[in-house]
């Protein structure tokens, strides 16, 4: 509890130190307090006046990995934010201040259990890239192969844990007091984010992700995934083939090498949908710092991916509903979009389809009056979410990674080729996938996949059928019925009762503490009689009262 409130204080202090208290005080709620900006000493004595964009970037760096991750996401949205801010945020992609090389060398030797000279032919102290979770150094293996060594930042887990405690506390408060909480599910969203972040700290998991993605694209001309060197991979270090490519956002170099930017932007969309629908395993952190371009074939360029800490998967039903939704949007079939939202459970079953269809049409139709190449899919999603909120659409945490990745892809594609027609590139791909899933071929593959199960259980079917019929004929057939919903209701009732008791007891203790504290100086202290010592008794009542009320946030 103390550390959480301390972290909140540090966040606000850091904002004030960089003169960003003006952002908070510009909110409608705090506008009457805007004069406090002039009372901030850091605004009096700042020797060098930095731009707001620079101050935002420096503040994010100081606040740590969670805030840096958020800044990295914003860095891809040049169509939404000013160029000056984007230029600064792009520095967060791979230019976060590195930690000392001595610490990096010590971590490698500890993880491998041998001196650095025995593990590598050479190890370079140069930092190739430094991000929020880890940094990368070049090295050469004993057999002469060039590699890079990725090392997790020391002590980063404790830093992330503190920030996650703050986010969880805020999410629980929102879950209790925010009217939109049932739809947005703030606690579940934060828990998904927490799981993703801590998965990034395990580099063995990242190595496995890279290995699988490499297997999927081993013969591809569109995406290259470097080779993992498993003998050197541990939880805090990863050794992977060194690649040479052009940063995807370095348009000057791409043009100098004659790279076909239109083909490159289209391939980015195709690679994304291929990962999602062909392999159901997609790179979910495709910001510019993780994507390079091979200059070997300018007319038919290929991407090179690095950093595989965040990968995403979808259930079969989510894959299908998403694909059908996309195609329905492309075809401007708004009724089908509404029906799919209801069928998938994203919107209440009792939603009137006609009303939902009209609301979707009102959002989408004005956008389709412009050329498709000018339509921002990210903006469309945001508008649709605002519309669906009126129909109690719940946020789907399992789709957050996909949504974020799609925003990255659109941002990158539009930077490379502003006329990128995302719809035209994706639509044929999705239609082919749907035809494979629902056609005769899909039926044949389903039968083939289930043949082992049928072969195993088919001989038992006559005996099972006879037993069931015998029990039915002799009135011995028992039907077991268990409702998960009823169990959930019982648990919620018990939880509510427990919370009510805590609230009553905690509030009573605080009231009692206040009353007793009020006696100090009015009633005699009576230390000698041993009846009570006013401040001590007041504190003894207040502390458990505060603890009980705070525990409500975690109950």
Which helix H or strand E contains 123, and what residues bound it? Answer: strand 122-123
Which helix H or strand E contains 431, and what residues bound it? Answer: helix 422-438
Where in the sequence numbering do the catalytic residues fall?
Answer: 285
- Which residue in 499, 500, 497, 512 sits closest to 544, CA to CA? 512
Q: Please name every residue paired with 122 in a beta bridge, in sequence order, or none if there are none.
A: 140
Which helix H or strand E contains 148, and what residues bound it? Answer: strand 146-152
Residues 497 and 2: their CA atoms lie apart, in Å, by: 27
Residues 272 and 262: their CA atoms lie apart, in Å, by: 16
Strands (E), 154-313: 223-224, 237-241, 246-247, 282-283, 291-294, 302-305, 311-312
- 3-class DSSP string for 438-491: HCHHHHHHHHHHHHHHHHHHHHHHHHHHHHHHHHHHCCCCCCCCCCHHHHHHHH
Is residue 63 a contact partner of residue 99, using CB atoms and an 8 Å limit? Answer: no
- Which residue in 237, 18, 172, 245 sits closest to 555, CA to CA? 172
Residues 183 and 175: their CA atoms lie apart, in Å, by: 10
Cα-only R_g, the chain? 29
CA distances from 411 to 44, 128, 277, 287 (A): 38, 24, 21, 9
Give me 117's structure tokens.
């000279």
3-state secondary structure of 429: helix
């Amino acid at each position: 509890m103390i550390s959480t409130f301390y972290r909140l204080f540090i966040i606000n202090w850091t904002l004030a130190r960089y003169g960003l208290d003006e952002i908070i005080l510009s909110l409608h709620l705090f506008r009457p307090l805007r004069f406090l900006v002039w009372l901030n000493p850091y605004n009096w004595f700042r020797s060098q006046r930095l731009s707001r964009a620079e101050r935002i970037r420096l503040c994010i760096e100081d606040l740590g990995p969670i805030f840096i991750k958020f800044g990295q996401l914003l860095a891809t949205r040049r169509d939404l934010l000013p160029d000056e801010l984007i230029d600064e945020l792009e520095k967060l992609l791979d230019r976060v201040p590195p930690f000392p090389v001595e610490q990096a060398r010590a971590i490698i030797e500890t993880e491998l259990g041998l001196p650095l000279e025995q593990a590598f032919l050479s190890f370079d102290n140069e930092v190739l890239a430094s991000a929020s979770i880890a940094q990368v150094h070049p090295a050469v293996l004993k057999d002469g192969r060039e590699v890079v060594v990725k090392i997790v930042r020391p002590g980063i887990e404790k830093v992330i844990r503190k920030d996650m405690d703050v986010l969880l506390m805020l999410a629980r408060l929102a879950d209790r007091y925010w009217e939109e909480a049932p739809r947005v599910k703030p606690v579940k969203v934060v828990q998904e984010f927490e799981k993703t972040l801590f998965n990034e700290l395990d580099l063995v998991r990242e190595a496995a992700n890279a290995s699988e993605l490499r297997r999927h694209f081993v013969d591809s001309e569109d995406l290259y995934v470097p080779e993992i060197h498993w003998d050197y991979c541990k939880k805090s270090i990863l050794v992977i083939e060194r690649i040479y490519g052009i940063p995807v956002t370095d348009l000057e170099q791409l043009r100098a090498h004659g790279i076909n930017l239109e083909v490159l932007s289209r391939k980015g969309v195709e690679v994304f949908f291929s990962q999602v629908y062909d392999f159901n395993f997609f790179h979910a952190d495709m910001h510019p710092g993780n994507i390079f371009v091979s200059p070997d074939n300018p007319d038919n360029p290929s991407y090179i991916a690095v950093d595989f800490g965040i990968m995403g998967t979808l259930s079969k039903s989510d894959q299908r509903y998403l694909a059908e939704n996309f195609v329905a949007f492309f075809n401007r079939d708004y009724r089908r979009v509404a029906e799919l939202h209801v069928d998938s459970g994203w919107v209440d079953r009792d939603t009137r389809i006609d009303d939902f269809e009209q609301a979707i049409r009102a959002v989408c139709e004005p956008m389709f009056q412009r050329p498709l190449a000018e339509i921002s899919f990210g903006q469309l999603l945001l508008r649709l979410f605002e519309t669906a909120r009126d129909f109690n659409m719940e946020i789907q945490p399992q789709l957050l990674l996909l949504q974020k990745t799609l925003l990255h892809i659109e941002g990158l594609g539009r930077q490379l080729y502003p006329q990128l027609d995302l719809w035209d590139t994706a639509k044929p791909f999705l239609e082919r996938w749907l035809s494979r899933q629902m056609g005769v071929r899909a039926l044949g593959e389903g039968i083939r996949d289930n043949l082992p199960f049928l072969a195993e259980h088919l001989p038992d079917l006559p005996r099972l059928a006879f037993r069931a019929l015998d029990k039915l004929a002799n009135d011995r057939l028992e039907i077991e019925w268990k409702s998960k919903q009823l169990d959930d209701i019982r648990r919620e009732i018990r939880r509510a009762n427990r919370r009510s008791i805590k609230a009553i007891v905690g509030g009573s203790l605080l009231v009692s503490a206040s009353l007793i504290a009020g006696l100090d100086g009015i009633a005699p202290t009576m230390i000698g009689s041993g009846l009570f010592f006013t401040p001590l008794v007041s504190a003894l009542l207040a502390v458990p009262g505060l603890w009980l009320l705070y525990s409500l946030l975690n109950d």
